[in-house]
């Protein structure tokens, strides 16, 4: 993506972060200043990752923002003892995926047509990236999530299985299915251009 598209996404992430942080300050007066600083650090560090997961599922930017906000509100309200940074990241991804599934299963989501994801078309430095982006967006949600975690977030099949609470064989099956669908979609696009 070009700098303009990145800036749009960053502005949205900043807007979400500013709406979540005040909740922390008013949710429980007993939280120490250190907990507040840690919460804000986690929000800053993982906002982009959670947003990317949400935008893969959501029908609109606003739905994705809702998912991100709900994810960080749960971080605020749940008492979770994290072992390390990777545990935080996996927990946030797991919660975001669950929030996305809740969103997708709602009556509203099932009966409202999809609107444009960003409101403006993302611009890519190389034209083939645009085709790949659209092809990934057209994948079924289960395949799209696995592709995102594998290629964009860099998780292994076993790690994805742990995050999504599915078998590793299921992850591999979804990756194979996604690659096959992408190959067909991209092949059709290239043949159409010739």
Residue-wise pLDDT tens digits, 53-106: 888 877 678 788 888 988 988 888 887 788 899 999 999 999 998 888 887 665
Nearest CA-CA partner of 57 in 143, 141, 154, 163: 141
- Is residue 111 located within the same domain as residue 188? no
- Please tell me the pTM assigned to this model: 0.57
Task: Quote the percentage of the chain above a pLDDT of 70.
Answer: 66
- Is residue 92 located within the same domain as residue 161? no
- Is residue 97 located within the same domain as residue 30? yes
116 CB-side CA count, 13 A? 5
Could you read off the pLDDT of 20-30 as tens digits, one per residue? 554 444 444 55
- Is residue 146 located within the same domain as residue 119? no
Examine the fold and report which residue of 123, 143, 162 is the final residue of a domain before the chain moves on. Answer: 123
pLDDT of residue 115: 42
Nearest CA-CA partner of 117 in 7, 8, 17, 4: 8
Question: What is the domain extent for residue 162?
Answer: 125-194
The CATH number assigned to the domain holding 144 equals 1.10.10.10
- Is residue 109 located within the same domain as residue 137? no
Total structural domains within the chain: 2
Alpha-carbon distance of 140 to 56, in angstroms, equals 10
The predicted model gives 23-52 an average pLDDT of 73
- Is residue 6 located within the same domain as residue 21? yes
Could you read off the pLDDT of 175-188 as tens digits, one per residue? 999 999 988 888 87
- Is residue 57 located within the same domain as residue 142? no
- Is residue 3 located within the same domain as residue 89? yes
Examine the fold and report which residue of 93, 123, 153 is the final residue of a domain before the chain moves on. Answer: 123
Residue 73, exposed/middle/buried by CB under 10 A (0-12, 13-18, 19+)?
middle
């Amino acid at each position: 993506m070009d700098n303009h598209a990145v800036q749009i996404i960053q502005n949205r992430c900043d807007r979400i972060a500013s709406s979540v942080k005040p909740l922390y300050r008013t949710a429980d007066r007993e939280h120490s200043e250190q907990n507040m600083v840690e919460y804000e650090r986690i929000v800053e560090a993982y906002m982009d990752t959670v947003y990317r997961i949400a935008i893969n599922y959501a029908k609109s930017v606003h739905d994705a923002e809702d998912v991100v906000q709900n994810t960080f509100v749960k971080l605020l309200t749940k008492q979770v003892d994290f072992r390390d940074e990777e545990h935080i990241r996996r927990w946030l991804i797991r919660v975001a995926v669950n929030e996305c599934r809740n969103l997708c299963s709602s009556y509203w989501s099932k009966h409202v047509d999809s609107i444009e994801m960003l409101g403006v078309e993302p611009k890519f430095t190389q034209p083939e990236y645009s085709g790949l982006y659209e092809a990934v967006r057209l994948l079924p949600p289960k395949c799209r999530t696995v592709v995102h975690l594998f290629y964009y977030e860099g998780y292994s099949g076993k790690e994805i299985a742990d995050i999504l609470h599915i078998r590793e064989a299921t992850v591999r099956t979804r990756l194979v299915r996604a690659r096959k669908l992408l190959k067909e979609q991209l092949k059709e696009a290239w043949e159409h251009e010739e």
